[in-house]
Structure 1
């Protein structure tokens, strides 16, 4: 146990040193290339090439995996601290825009699959596991929260009643519009479109178009396409 704690502290010191020294080197002065080289010492995995702008914060880098062709822009925070079972995985060609916050708590896996785009000011938070599929687009100011506060006992402060951690799945090729909120325990089916400002608190079937607070399905993309083909015939 003592050796494990010592190793963990050593990892954190190395992480702080490298991210402090390399993290703020301006992008125009070889910053991304130097970070790509230096960060290989602290991440669980990092591909090549990877483009990381200055001003990006990493915590628990030994639990973070970054694929090839990934773009991470200024103000992003990736926090995998909590314990060694945490994992943040960014697949190949994922793009994380400015001021995105992705955080674990403990025993949390956050997996963002290849070719997915996360727009500015999005928050993605455990402690439940979160799986975002391939070719997804998450618009600005959206929130994906794999937790929900328990509040059954009115005599005890809500902050002490714990949280749920059912997890969230967003399947391949989904588009979440501006300001969408996805709550714990939800699966959004493949190819779905979620309208701006929608609060998703229940499962959404594949190829759906959903809007509203709470979300309601108003169309099915496959049925719509089939109707169009039949009309053209």
Structure 2
């Protein structure tokens, strides 16, 4: 255990040195190219080319994998916490817009598959595992939360009652509109559309259109209207 703690501190020190030196070099002054080269010494995996703007914060880079052709814009915070069993994976050609927050707790795997777009100010948080498929579009201000606070005991503060960690799956080719919230334990089926502002607290079948709080399926993409049933 002492050796593991020492190695963890050493990795974090190396990470801080590299990201402090390279992280704030302006985009217009070869910043992305220098980061593309320099970050290879600290990430678990990083493709080429990768476009990372200045002002991106990383923690636990030894547990972060970045594919080829990935775009990460200003203000993104990506925190794998350095725990050996954590993993954040960004597939090829993923785009992460400004001010997105992606975070793990212990034993968390967050997987965002290829060609997926994550809009500005989205929050993606463990500790449950999160899998977002290929060709998905997650619009601005959405939240994907693979945890839920327990609150069964009214005499104990909720913050001490623990959380669930069932996990979330968003299958390929899904579109989540502005401000959608996805809660722990949910699977959103392939090809589904979730309307702006919806709160998804139960599974959504493939090729569905769902709206509302809580989200309910009103149509499938073959054209069958379910709103009156």
TM-score tier (shorter): over 0.9
Hey, which of these two has a bigger chunk of helix by percent?
A: 1
Residues 31-82 of structure 1: per-residue CA shift (max 9 Å, x gap): 0000000000000000000000000000000000000000000000000005
Aligned to 1:187: 187
User: In structure 2, do the counterparts of structure 1 residues 131 and 197 end up closer, same or farther at CA, with 3 Å as the change threshold?
Assistant: same
Q: Does 1:208 align with 2:190?
A: no
- Give the Å deviation of 1:222: 2.4
CA distance in 2, matches of 1:179, 1:197: 5
Aligned to 2:85: 85
CA distance in 1, matches of 2:174, 2:117: 11
Aligned to 1:42: 42
**Matched residue SS, 2:209:** strand
Map 1:153-232 → 2, pairs under 5 A:
153-224=153-224
Contact 1:145–1:183 (CA<8 Å) still a contact in 2?
Answer: yes
Map 1:49-88 → 2, pairs under 5 A:
49-81=49-81, 83-88=83-88
Unaligned runs of 5+ in 1: 226-233
- Give the Å deviation of 1:209: 0.1
- Give the Å deviation of 1:224: 4.4
**Matched residue SS, 1:124:** strand
CA distance in 1, matches of 2:75, 2:44: 21
Aligned length: 225
Contact 1:82–1:107 (CA<8 Å) still a contact in 2?
Answer: no
**Matched residue SS, 1:219:** strand
Aligned to 2:108: 108
Q: CA RMSD in A?
A: 1.0
Unaligned runs of 5+ in 2: none
Contact 1:97–1:120 (CA<8 Å) still a contact in 2?
Answer: yes
CA distance in 1, matches of 2:152, 2:38: 49
Map 1:114-129 → 2, pairs under 5 A:
114-129=114-129
CA distance in 2, matches of 1:27, 1:74: 10
TM-score (norm 1): 0.95
